[in-house]
A and B are shown apart, each in its own frame.
Chain A
Amino acid sequence: MALLELRNVTRRFGDFTAVDCVNLSIEAGELFTLLGPSGCGKTTLLRMIAGFDVPDSGQILLDGKDIANTPPEKRPIHTVFQSYALFPHMTVADNVAFPLKMSGKAPDEIKKRVEQALAEVQLSRFAHRFPHELSGGQKQRVAFARGLINRPRLLLMDEPLGALDAKLREDMQRELINLQKEVGITFVFVTHSQDEALALSQRIAVMNQGRVEQIGEPSVIYGQPANRFIADFIGKINLMEAQVTQVSGQDMTLEADKLGTTTLPLKQGVNVGDKGVIAIRPEQISVHAPDKQAELPHAHSGKVLDFLYVGDVTTYIVELDCGIHMEALLANSAPGRARFFEVGDPVIVSWTREAAQFLLN
């Protein structure tokens, strides 16, 4: 049985359906992420799981029992809020002790467990500081320690790393994953940041307009997005409008707007006449000097319009002869001066048959 199961959960605010018939099941010990743009309903869903909001219809089952009418303070589910919500008038130790005090643990036990919890997040030295005397990363750790100390069945995290700077975020991501392995508590993240979702989760549910669009491992969500929205939302991708003109055996033939005719491996459920997009990730596109044209599959000539050098990789924007702009990502792995093309250089872009996907609208 799944630890947490959502069945047909729907929540409306007036005419607006914030969460639309969502079905999810989260297994014990999982790192699960609800990912979506702002306004997609993920925060409403989180509030319903935590108990701050009640679904208009559907069920929320924890260990198979419906908890829709259990108030937040009675649920074995704790939340790490986006702003951390540390109690400003309490010391770090008192903040962390709070859930234990609320559940009526003995003072001796509370003291011991708080010390242990603070040691786990390397904050023993800060036990008697107040939250406003801590750095962002330290506040984050206090919030984790406080959320975990009473061993909830589920720890919800709302944009857990959103308030940290990029460098610290990477450290915290690793720390979080390690922490989860140690404590074995199920984590559910809610975020609009695809980087965070891809880095932290074992499974991701991508949400849009109140609906769950796709559930899967990060590599599946990134590599085989179920539809155009997901492809566009997660990572960068080149999209070209196309229509299916012919289906035969293992192949389908597509007529793309300016690109012309392309043949891709047949995708299940696709019929002649369907409209959609051809989607190719920038890192799947290779850029060559024009003299190598001969043997390349799906090759198109064009010229470099612009590029963005960010150290480890360079993103080239290539204008194909047909007028389409494509982004291609080249790793700067060669030693020394790592720059292949200048603006205006004629180039050939190409991709393999497997790199391109056809996504229905």
Chain B
Amino acid sequence: MNKLRLTRWLVSLPPTLFLLLFFAAPSLLMIVTSFRYPGEFGGLAPLSALETMTGEGDSGLYGLTLETYHFFFSDILYAEIFLKSFAVATLTTLICLIMAYPVAMLIAKSEKKYRNLMILLVVLPFASNFLIRIYAWMIILGPESAFSHFVNNILQMLGFEPVMLLFSPFAVIVGMVYVHLPFMILPLYTNLEKHDPVLLDAAQDLGANRWQRFWLITWPQSLPGVFSGAALVFIPVLGMFAVPDILGGTGDILIGNLIKDQFLGTRDWPFGSTLSIMLMLTVLCVAGLSMLLARPRTSR
């Protein structure tokens, strides 16, 4: 018994150390950074030289400050970007759910021998580089593409002005959905595959029509899969910067882009850290809510 416990500890030690070193420690660093002053040429101001540098008496305890948080909450712009990111993440999650559900159901109801092949096809896009796939969308949605011409021809026939597909919120959503769809399909499939088909027979036998069978039997049972899929799509989309960078217009800045800019552009590390922490807190709330909703139901 003791030996078994020792083995368990030994086996779990490397991953635990890894997470402590590369997740917990950086997170802690980031929290500390968010309370510091930015350096004159980017990065961080040294803690000791602070008094002399700022020349102000109001420099806070040990060179720490709440200034970045004050800045974050004082400008409505950041709340707007958070809200917009939330809207994009919510919309992406919903579209992914609607598109993934029939696919997952189709796979789950297929013959066993074809299922693995279908799953392989779902994850196959991962085999090519993420950025290349996004650039491919740039071409597909670009003004000279056949797709763009097709859409604009239809719009013209209906009497509308032609539109620019690329560099628009539309392109951002398309890119987001495209990248994250497999993350919705897989947990949904894993859930749906476990459903006992006899339950649908029983529901039908007891008088439920096709819609009632779906909404009263299949859907409620699939909720754990829906919530884990939603979390797997919602959370990464919230922090994603590559897709809006490449496919979005100048007005399509999301939290991810904002954070990236603080570190790589304006080099304001403390504010970048603050934004990251705010994002992390939001994500934790969403994940917690998702777990709460997906918990197994019992009477006690």
Question: Known interface pairs A88-B221, A89-B221. Does A72 touch B204 (Cβ–Cβ under 8 Å)?
Answer: yes
CB-contacts of B177-205 with A (<8 A): 196, 198-199, 201-205
- Chain B nearest CB from A245 CB (Å) reads 55
- Chain B nearest CB from A94 CB (Å) reads 10
When distances are taken between beta carbons in the complex, the residues of chain A under 8 Å from B217 are 87
Q: Is B15 located at the chain interface by the 8 A CB criterion?
A: no
Q: Is A257 located at the chain interface by the 8 A CB criterion?
A: no
Q: How far is the CA of A242 from the CA of B270 in the complex (A)?
A: 101
When distances are taken between beta carbons in the complex, the residues of chain A under 8 Å from B95 are none
Residue among B201, B206, B209, B298 with most chain A CB within 10 A = B206
Q: Which residue of A lies closest to B210 (CB)?
A: A73
When distances are taken between beta carbons in the complex, the residues of chain A under 8 Å from B196 are 83, 85
Q: Is B212 located at the chain interface by the 8 A CB criterion?
A: yes
Q: Is A98 located at the chain interface by the 8 A CB criterion?
A: yes
When distances are taken between beta carbons in the complex, the residues of chain B under 8 Å from A129 are 299
When distances are taken between beta carbons in the complex, the residues of chain A under 8 Å from B102 are none
The reply to whether B298 and A133 contact each other, CB–CB distance below 8 Å, is: yes
When distances are taken between beta carbons in the complex, the residues of chain B under 8 Å from A51 are 205
The reply to whether B297 and A73 contact each other, CB–CB distance below 8 Å, is: no
Q: How far is the CA of A50 from the CA of B297 in the complex (A)?
A: 31
Question: Known interface pairs A87-B217, A130-B298. Does A99 touch B198 (Cβ–Cβ under 8 Å)?
Answer: no
Question: Known interface pairs A83-B196, A85-B196, A89-B221. Does A73 touch B205 (Cβ–Cβ under 8 Å)?
Answer: yes
The reply to whether A98 and B206 contact each other, CB–CB distance below 8 Å, is: yes
Q: Is A91 located at the chain interface by the 8 A CB criterion?
A: yes
Interface of chain B: mostly helix, strand, loop or mixed = helix
The reply to whether A79 and B299 contact each other, CB–CB distance below 8 Å, is: no
What 0/1 readout, one digit per residue, does chain B (275-293) give for beta carbons within 8 Å of chain A? Answer: 0000000000000000000
A89: contacting residue among B202, B205, B220, CB under 8 A: B220
The reply to whether B299 and A91 contact each other, CB–CB distance below 8 Å, is: yes
Q: Is B57 located at the chain interface by the 8 A CB criterion?
A: no
Q: Which residue of B lies closest to A52 (CB)?
A: B201
The reply to whether B199 and A87 contact each other, CB–CB distance below 8 Å, is: yes
Q: How far is the CA of A89 from the CA of B194 in the complex (A)?
A: 14
Q: How far is the CA of A102 from the CA of B208 in the complex (A)?
A: 6
Residue among A73, A83, A129, A130 with most chain B CB within 10 A = A73
The reply to whether A102 and B212 contact each other, CB–CB distance below 8 Å, is: yes
Q: Is B55 located at the chain interface by the 8 A CB criterion?
A: no
Q: Which residue of B lies closest to A89 (CB)?
A: B220
Question: Known interface pairs A83-B198, A102-B212. Does A150 touch B206 (Cβ–Cβ under 8 Å)?
Answer: yes
Q: Which residue of B lies closest to A50 (CB)?
A: B205
Q: How far is the CA of A106 from the CA of B207 in the complex (A)?
A: 16
The reply to whether A128 and B299 contact each other, CB–CB distance below 8 Å, is: yes
The reply to whether A85 and B299 contact each other, CB–CB distance below 8 Å, is: no
Q: How far is the CA of A147 from the CA of B207 in the complex (A)?
A: 11
Q: How far is the CA of A131 from the CA of B201 in the complex (A)?
A: 18
Q: Name the interface size band of chain A.
A: 20 to 34
Q: How far is the CA of A356 from the CA of B17 in the complex (A)?
A: 82
When distances are taken between beta carbons in the complex, the residues of chain A under 8 Å from B216 are 98
The reply to whether B299 and A103 contact each other, CB–CB distance below 8 Å, is: no
When distances are taken between beta carbons in the complex, the residues of chain A under 8 Å from B203 are 87, 98
Q: Is A222 located at the chain interface by the 8 A CB criterion?
A: no
CB-contacts of B199-235 with A (<8 A): 199, 201-209, 212, 216-217, 220-221
Question: Known interface pairs A91-B299, A128-B299, A129-B299. Does A99 touch B207 (Cβ–Cβ under 8 Å)?
Answer: yes
Q: How far is the CA of A89 from the CA of B221 in the complex (A)?
A: 6
- Chain A nearest CB from B145 CB (Å) reads 46
Residue among B201, B203, B204, B221 with most chain A CB within 10 A = B204
The reply to whether B297 and A89 contact each other, CB–CB distance below 8 Å, is: yes
The reply to whether A102 and B207 contact each other, CB–CB distance below 8 Å, is: yes
Q: Is A303 located at the chain interface by the 8 A CB criterion?
A: no
- Chain A nearest CB from B202 CB (Å) reads 4
Q: How far is the CA of A84 from the CA of B262 in the complex (A)?
A: 60
Question: Known interface pairs A83-B198, A85-B196, A85-B198. Does A78 touch B299 (Cβ–Cβ under 8 Å)?
Answer: no
B202: contacting residue among A71, A81, A91, A130, CB under 8 A: A81
- Chain B nearest CB from A268 CB (Å) reads 44
Q: Is A146 located at the chain interface by the 8 A CB criterion?
A: yes
When distances are taken between beta carbons in the complex, the residues of chain B under 8 Å from A85 are 196, 198-199, 201-202
Question: Known interface pairs A83-B198, A85-B196, A87-B199. Does A72 touch B205 (Cβ–Cβ under 8 Å)?
Answer: yes
Q: How far is the CA of A73 from the CA of B202 in the complex (A)?
A: 9
Question: Known interface pairs A88-B221, A89-B221, A129-B299. Does A81 touch B198 (Cβ–Cβ under 8 Å)?
Answer: yes
Question: Known interface pairs A87-B199, A87-B203. Does A130 touch B208 (Cβ–Cβ under 8 Å)?
Answer: no
Q: Which residue of A lies closest to B198 (CB)?
A: A85
Residue among A71, A99, A102, A150 with most chain B CB within 10 A = A102
Q: How far is the CA of A5 from the CA of B299 in the complex (A)?
A: 44
Q: How far is the CA of A150 from the CA of B202 in the complex (A)?
A: 14
Q: How far is the CA of A8 from the CA of B221 in the complex (A)?
A: 41
Interface residues of A (CB under 8 A from B): 50-52, 71-73, 77-79, 81, 83, 85, 87-89, 91, 98-99, 102-103, 128-130, 133, 146-147, 150
17 contacts between A and B (CB under 8 A): A50-B205, A52-B201, A72-B201, A72-B205, A73-B204, A73-B209, A78-B206, A81-B198, A81-B202, A85-B199, A85-B201, A89-B221, A89-B297, A98-B216, A102-B212, A147-B206, A150-B207
Which 7 pairs of residues, A with B, have the shortest CB-CB distance?
A102-B207, A85-B202, A99-B206, A85-B198, A79-B205, A89-B220, A129-B299
Q: Given contact pairs A77-B205, A79-B202, enumerate 5 new A-B contacts (beta carbons under 8 Å).
A: A52-B205, A73-B204, A87-B217, A88-B199, A133-B298
